[in-house]
Amino acid sequence: MAAKRPKIIKKDLKRVSVKPNLLNYEKTYRSFSYKKVEKELAWLGKGKLNAAHDAVDKHLNTWRKNKVALYWIGDECDKKYTFLELAQLSNQFANALVEQKIKKEDRVFLFLPRIPELYFSFLGILKTGAIAGTMFAAFGPDAIYDRLHDSGASVVITSPELKPRIDKIRKKLPDLKTVIVTGSVKVNSRKGEVLFNDMMKGQSRNFKTKEMKPKDKAYMLYTSGTTGKPKGVVHTHYDIIHQYMTSKWVLDLQEEDVYWCTADPGWVTGIAYGILGPWANGTSSVVDARRFSAEKWYDTLEKYRVTVWYTAPTAIRMMMKEGSKLAKKFDLSSLRHMCSVGEPLNPEAVYWGLNTMGLVFHDNWWQTETGGILIANYPGMAVKPGSMGKPFPGIKAAIVDEHGKIKKTGKEGNLAIKPGWPSMMIEVWKNPVKYKEYFKNGWYITGDKAKVDKDGYFWFIGRADDVINTAGHRVGPFEVESALVAHPAIAEAGVIGKPDEMFGEIIKAFVSLNKGYKPNDGLKKDIQHFMKRYHAGHAYPKEIEFRDNLPKTRSGKIMRRVLKCQELGLPVGDISTLEDD
Ligand code: PRX
């Protein structure tokens, strides 16, 4: 599908992106120290803090107590919650969890659509000292099982629509004691099922938030690498200092802003910049829980007079596809700052923003593991379309070779960060070996290839490994392959990311079949349906190719590199001496 190319207007990008009231980036950079900024955290006594307190309750001592924290948009109605209401609802939920004997470091997982309960239960979990885990609502039973099983979660909160997927795997999860269900449906108390509303009834609106040490664990989410099942990336309460600062300086959140982060808290952006960072700044946030449509999104921007918008390239491209005519039907004059993350932002998208909204998208870069934005185009900087920007103050980023040696300006290499920034993941759940693998020769190795130009701007080249980025979602080929071979027709599977103009990449699967199965379109559809149902709605192979054999190493590992080269029509190189693992 070819996206319509917008007319490119060569304007002075620097002029439109500079706002007079913004902090001076270069000056700030020279005087920056996280130690100094620590004073801005809401400490709960000596060396103790809690990210939920910093995000919400600290505002209750200020005029923001009755300020709207959350504008929620649903299919049937809109709702709003003040900071006071969020504090009270999360306190009630924290009390309910304590009644369920939840204690520090227990894992409480959320498997919910973007309903208000998701937001105040996330905060409530943090207040008890337990670890909040999030899961995207498109996950199927297998993906949910991997996460709940590995984390040993004792509680999961879900909705009536999503609960059947948990029911399917419940028997295999002995650690899972309680399933909390929102709405009003029949639940089976003998199986530890309980209604959210019943739990909340009669709970006090006060709760003594647990005082945590900065490096105590707060939340976790699973993310994909090239090999193995998804890893549980664990973050601490101290993350909030970085999320607070980057929300202020990169997203430029100010008191009077209405801010909209379009990400789902099943992914890290929806936590760091959909919950913790903006609320720590006392910002009013919009959550639109409806299915994407360009028209609905423009309507949200107009209706809520959104001033700062944080979204993703695929969504921008989908809006571009609808054309500027649709955009012109709406009053988007409230917008003053736009940011993007998660996948490469093509220059056309930056120019489209300029043509349509009179503003450029400010691209920034980070990862689940980094817990916050590390490289960004700042509001006060000249935007170079296609570049991710410069490192955030206090962050040292570089392009290094295999031995950790910094490469010359303009040379491609591994994007690496000096470890130790406040929101760095603290562990990979139950997997110290995997955690250690990230750190080499004194650098945190991101897994991305990039280059840096003479002005210090970073340019994304691609992944250094086989990880697929489809519509901004990080997908591990191994997980998709394992799910594919569970289909009765499939003997072997190899999965790659195939470049796509709209989604960045789509998932393409090469499969060989078991005896008795014939390759045909009906089987393709059946496999896709199977993948959506059991694995994940967003991570199914859009393309499937049947092969008699798949290229393999001597030890039998499928060579995705060869499949990718063949797909792209690139020379495969010498495979006469088959690679070893
Ligand atoms: O490959 C990079 C890509 O997304 C990966 C991180 O994915 P995830 O952990 O799911 O976090 C996404 C949201 C923070 C990175 O390793 N990525 C992220 N931002 C950009 C990007 N690729 C290009 N440009 C970006 N701005």
Show me where the domains of the chain are located: 473-568
Record: fold of 473-568: GMP Synthetase; Chain A, domain 3 (3.30.300)
User: Do 288 and 295 meet the contact criterion of CB atoms below 8 Å apart?
Assistant: no
Q: What is the pLDDT of residue 110?
A: 98
Residue with CA closest to ligand 1 atom 18: 342
This model's pTM is above 0.85? yes
Q: Which of 310, 346, 469 for a ligand 1 pocket mutation test, highest count of atoms within 8 Å of Cβ?
A: 469
268 within ligand 1 shell (Cβ under 6 A): yes
Atom of ligand 1 nearest to the CA of 463: 1
344 within ligand 1 shell (Cβ under 6 A): yes
List, in order, residues 6 or more apart from 345 with CB less than 8 Å away. 313, 316, 361, 363, 385, 386
Q: Which of 316, 374, 460 for a ligand 1 pocket mutation test, highest count of atoms within 8 Å of Cβ?
A: 460
Phi/psi-derived region of residue 444, left when phi > 0, alpha when psi is between -120 and 50, beta in every other case: beta
Residue with CA closest to ligand 1 atom 5: 367
Task: Please name the residue that has the structure tokens 């059947």.
Answer: 164
Q: Which of 367, 459, 473 for a ligand 1 pocket mutation test, highest count of atoms within 8 Å of Cβ?
A: 367
List, in order, residues 6 or more apart from 577 with CB less than 8 Å away. none
Residue with CA closest to ligand 1 atom 6: 367
3-state secondary structure of 528: helix
Beta-strand relationship, 107-111 and 155-158: parallel
474 within ligand 1 shell (Cβ under 6 A): yes
304 within ligand 1 shell (Cβ under 6 A): no
Atom of ligand 1 nearest to the CA of 366: 14
477-484 and 521-534 helices cross at what angle (nearest 10)? 120
Q: What is the DSSP letter of 479?
A: H
Q: What is the pLDDT of residue 24?
A: 58
346 within ligand 1 shell (Cβ under 6 A): no
| Cα-to-centroid distance, 342 and ligand 1 (Å) | 4
Distances in Å between the Cα of 143 and the Cα atoms of 50, 121, 147, 192 are 30, 22, 7, 22
List, in order, residues 6 or more apart from 420 with CB less than 8 Å away. none
Residues of the chain with pLDDT under 70: 1-30, 574-581
List, in order, residues 6 or more apart from 540 with CB less than 8 Å away. 480, 507, 528, 531, 532
Atom of ligand 1 nearest to the CA of 345: 24
Q: What is the pLDDT of residue 579?
A: 47
Q: What is the pLDDT of residue 27?
A: 66
Phi/psi-derived region of residue 516, left when phi > 0, alpha when psi is between -120 and 50, beta in every other case: left
Give the rounded distance of the alpha carbon of 202 from its chain centre.
35
